[in-house]
Copies of this chain bind each other. A is one copy, B any other.
Amino acid sequence: MVAVGDELLLGDIVNGNAAWLGSELAAVGAPVTHSSMVGDDVEAIVAAIRHALSLAEVVVLTGGLGPTTDDVTRDAVAAAAGVALVRSPALEEQLREKFRAYAVDLPAAVMRQADVPEGATPLDNPVGTAPGLRLELGQQLVLALPGPPHELAAVARGGVLAELRERSGQVVLTRTLHCAGLGESNVAELVEEAIEVPAGVDLAYLAGGGVVRVRLTTAAATQARAAEVLDPLVARLQDALGTSVFGRDGDTLAGVVLRRLTAAGATVAVAESLTGGLLGAALTDLPGSSAAFRGGLLVYATDLKTSLAGVGEDVLAEHGAVSTQTAQALARGCRDRLGATYGIGVTGVAGPDEQEGKPVGTVHVAVAGPEAVVVRSVRLPGDRTRIRLLAVTVALDLLRRELPEPLAFR
């Protein structure tokens, strides 16, 4: 893989394309073995293409296909292959058609995007103006894809990934279990007691934001054969990890909570202190959240905990704003005042300074439901940003454990 752009080398943007494409390519049995970033410079790109061709069968470039003078990937592909750039009348017509919809004068530079290295095939870009390029060099293949992430995804999914899957001659299957409420080393211990990883299966742990993902990967001739290998392992892992498993594959904790709430015909409200709105933001991130999320109270200033959420002044005086009692009162208060089935209360010390003599990272979360109030107190690691994010995970997970799991999941 070769990513093109000065902005990548200067650190103005992160090379997210390499991560996205790396994951997609691994899934089609064409794992990336070497990846590089070079500036908007023909010679540097040519050198990178040649170096990559010495290391791998297929070279995928991203970026540098746009209309401006610093977009030189197509020149570099032509130079690396030792062929000329030829203007394609069909692409010229396509570009005119695309710009007609925008009713703008067509800058001459736009037509550079109709240039194709001799022998290369353009790859249709349905969401942008710059087509990709596909060029066979003997047994090897050079693919140039656009840099904007949504254009990259569209062109890759438009046939590139399918071709590479066919070329690799195998299917790579991945199964992921998402766990919350256990640390990475606890998860690893339970996993290693539960299964022995057979040869040909890869096991990986990916931890972040209070969630540990356990991922199994295997390659086989067919999807069915790969599933035969992985599914019994996944079933054993799911038993061993028990209620800490909240989802599979593409699931997110907020998504699972919303799915369970919606399936139960239930709603939720929040009362947030240290998270300041992050919990509400997580619960409204997905489309359809309005079916289950009622709203919330951001009670950052202590007096608002009383006036908005009804936390008793005696509770605050006796136990402080950072206490299990206040978390419980916040959960009950928002549940009652916003008319929700469940209320979540979150309070704690995000730092950088301690509060009420309680250390940074102290967090109390409570969930009030129709039958009971549950509370969980933790001491979270990291800086202010991390503590706030982890507090959201603890809160969502506490509610998740109160909600029945829809049968469809098992």
Residues from 265 to 295 in A contacting B, C-beta threshold 8 Å: 270, 272, 274-285, 287, 289-290, 293-295
Smallest CB separation, A197 vs chain B (Å): 15
A interface residues (Cβ-Cβ under 8 A, vs B): 7-16, 18-24, 26, 31-39, 44, 48, 51, 204, 206, 270, 272, 274-285, 287, 289-290, 293-301, 304, 308, 337-338, 350-353, 384-385, 388
List residues of chain B with CB within 8 A of the CB of A298: 270, 277, 280, 295-298
Q: With A and B bound together, what is the CA distance between A293 and B302 in angstroms?
A: 11
Q: What is the bound-complex CA distance between A31 and B33, given in angstroms?
A: 25
Docked pose: A206 CA to B22 CA in angstroms:
26
Q: Which residues of B contact A38 (CB under 8 A)?
A: 33-35
Minimal beta-carbon separation of A46 from chain B (angstroms): 13
- Whether B20 lies near A11 (C-beta < 8 A) is yes
- Cα separation A236 to B31 with both chains bound (whole Å): 50
In the complex the two chains form, is B276's CB within 8 Å of A281's CB?
Answer: yes
B294 touches A304 (CB 8 A): yes
When all copies of this chain in the complex are counted, the total is 2
Asked if B8 and A35 sit within 8 Å, CB to CB, the answer is: yes
Q: How far is the CB of A3 from chain B (nearest CB, A)?
A: 9
| Docked-complex contact B35 and A34, CB < 8 angstroms | no
Measured CA separation A284–B32 after assembly (Å): 40
Question: How far, in whole Å, are A11 and B24 apart by their CA atoms in the complex?
Answer: 8
Q: Is the CB of A301 within 8 A of B295?
A: yes
| Interchain CB contact under 8 A, B308 and A338 | yes
Q: Contacts of A276 on B, CB cut-off 8 Å?
A: 277, 280-281, 283-285, 289, 293
Which residues from B are CB-within-8-Å of A338? 301, 304, 308
Chain B positions within 8 Å of A13 at CB level? 19
Q: Which of A24, A37, A290, A299 has the most CB of B within 10 A?
A: A37
Q: Is B9 a contact partner of A31 (Cβ separation < 8 A)?
A: yes
**Given the complex of chains A and B, what is the CA–CA distance between A290 and B12 in angstroms?**
31
* Neighbouring B residues of A385 by C-beta, 8 Å: 285
Whether A35 and B32, one on each chain, are in contact in the complex, defined by CB atoms closer than 8 angstroms, is no
Query: Do residues B304 and A300 form an inter-chain contact, with CB atoms below 8 A?
Result: no
Residues of B contacting A32 with CB < 8 Å? 9-10
Is the CB–CB distance between A8 and B34 below 8 Å?
A: no
User: Which of B9, B15, B308 has a CB less than 8 Å from the CB of A14?
Assistant: B15
Give the CA-CA distance A277 to B280 in the complex, in Å.
Answer: 5
Give the chain B neighbours of A290 by CB distance below 8 A.
300-301
Whole-angstrom CA separation of A12 from B174 in the bound complex: 13
B295–A299 contact, CB under 8 A? yes
Q: Roughly how many angstroms separate A290 CA and B300 CA in the complex, as a whole number?
A: 7
Within 8 Å CB of A350, what residues of B?
A: 284
A253 to B341 CA separation, bound complex (whole angstroms): 36
- Picked from B206, B272, B352, the residue with its CB within 8 Å of the CB of A12 is B206
Q: Are B277 and A296 in contact (CB under 8 A)?
A: yes
A96 to B35, alpha carbons, bound, how many Å?
Answer: 37
A280 to B273, CA, bound (A): 10
The 5 A-B residue pairs whose C-beta atoms are closest, nearest first, are A277-B280, A276-B284, A277-B277, A11-B23, A11-B22
Query: Which residues does chain B contribute within 8 Å of A22, judged by CB atoms?
Result: 8-11
A34 touches B44 (CB 8 A): yes
Q: How far is the CA of A354 from the CA of B304 in the complex (A)?
A: 34
Is B34 in contact with A34, judged by CB distance below 8 angstroms? no
A238 CB to closest chain B CB, in angstroms?
21
A368 to B282, CA, bound (A): 27
A35–B296 CA distance with the chains assembled, in angstroms: 46
Is the beta-carbon distance between B285 and A275 smaller than 8 angstroms? no
A284's partner among B15, B36, B37, B277 (CB-CB below 8 A) is B277
Residue of A7, A38, A277, A284 with highest tally of chain B CB at under 10 A: A277
Q: Residue on B with the closest CB to A334?
A: B298
User: CA A23 – CA B9 in complex, angstroms?
Assistant: 8
